[in-house]
Structure 1
Amino acid sequence: MKKKLLIEIIASLLIILFLYTGITKLIEHATFRYQLSISPWSLLASWSGIVSWVLPIGEVLLAAMLLITACRKTAFIASAILFAGFLVYLGMLLGSGTKLPCTCGGIISSMSWNAHVWFDAACLLLCMTGIWLVHNTYRILNQH
C-alpha cells in the first residue's frame, strides 16, 4: 500500500507541475515563443513556432496521462525523457554563457539557472522513482 501512495504522490506533484507550466506557457504564448526564438541552440530557435505549441500541449497531455493509472508508467517514462531533455538544454544554455530569460513560465522562471538544474534533476529522479514503483508494484500484484 505504501508504494501505491508514493506513486500517487509523485504523479500528483508532476500533474500540478505540468499543468502549471503548460498552461502558463499557453497563456503567455507570445513571450514563450520569443524566448525560444532567441535560444543559443539554432535548431530550437528556428523551430520556436512549433515548439512553443507542442511543449505546453505535451505538458498538459502528460498531466492527463498521469491521472490515468493504466497510462502512468508510460507517462513517467515520457516525463523522465522530457526532464532529461530539459537538463541537456540547461547544460547547453549554461555552456553558452548567454544570459537568457527562463522559458518555464510563472514562479519557476524566477529560479536561478543553478536552481533549475537541481529542480529538473530532482524531477527526473521523481520520474525514475515513479517508473520503478509502478513497474514493481503492478508486477507483484499481477503475480498474485
Structure 2
Amino acid sequence: METTLKDKFQIISKTKEIIIDMTCFLLIILFVYTAITKLYTYSSFEEGLHNSVLLKPYSHILTWFIPSSEICISILLIIPKSRWLGLLSSFLLLLFFTIYLIYMVNYGGPKSCGCGGVIEALSWTQHIYFNIFFILISGTSFYFETSLFDIHQNIKYKMEDSSSN
C-alpha cells in the first residue's frame, strides 16, 4: 500500500502534537511543583532571593511574582488555544532562570536555590543542564505549535478559497 503525501502530513502532524502534549505535561508538573514548593517555603524562598546580590532589590516582588508566573504559565499550557503563549512563556522564563544561574556560578556571591524539593538538591551545574533540557523541549514544542498553527491556517484558507470559486 502506498503512503500518500496527505498520510505523511498526518503522521508528522500527529507526532508533533504528541511531542507538544508531552512537553506541556512535563512543564506543568515542573512549574506547579516549583510554585507550590516556593509558596510552601515562602520565608526560605524570600530569604534566598534576598541573599542574592543580583536580586536583593527585587526580592519582595519576585517572591510572589515567580510562583505566580509559574502557575499562570501552567494554566496557559492546559488551555489548547493558549498553548503557544504558554510554551513561549516557558521558554523565556527558563531562559532567564538559566542566565541567572550561569551569572551566579561565574560572578555571583552566596549561592542559594529557591526551587525547592528535589530540584534544590541539584548542583548549580546540574541545575543549568536541567534548565537547558527544558529550554530545548519548550523551544522545540513552541516551534512545532507555531508550524502546526500555520499549516492548519493555510489549509483552512485554501479550503475557503476553493469553496468560494
Correspondence 1:41-56 to 2 at 5 A = 41=54, 44-56=55-67
Deviation per CA, 1:50-73, whole angstroms, max 9, x where unpaired? 100010011011001100111111
Correspondence 1:84-99 to 2 at 5 A = 84-96=95-107, 98-99=109-110
Confirm or deny that 1:20 pairs with 2:36: no
Equivalent residues of 1:40, 1:93 under 8 A apart: no
Equivalent residues of 1:19, 1:63 under 8 A apart: yes
Superposed CA RMSD in Å reads 1.1
Correspondence 1:68-87 to 2 at 5 A = 68-87=79-98
What is the DSSP-based 3-state SS (H/G/I as helix, E as strand, rest coil) of the residue aligned with 2:83? helix
Larger Rg: 2
Structure 1 stretches (4+) deviating beyond 3 angstroms?
Answer: none
Aligned amino acid, residue 28 of structure 1: T
Q: TM-score, normalised by structure 1?
A: 0.94
What is the DSSP-based 3-state SS (H/G/I as helix, E as strand, rest coil) of the residue aligned with 2:115? coil
**Identical amino acids, percent of aligned pairs:** 31
Cα deviation, residue 97, structure 1: 5.4
Confirm or deny that 1:109 pairs with 2:120: yes
What is the DSSP-based 3-state SS (H/G/I as helix, E as strand, rest coil) of the residue aligned with 1:111? coil
Cα deviation, residue 88, structure 1: 1.1
Equivalent residues of 1:87, 1:117 under 8 A apart: yes
Count of aligned positions: 142
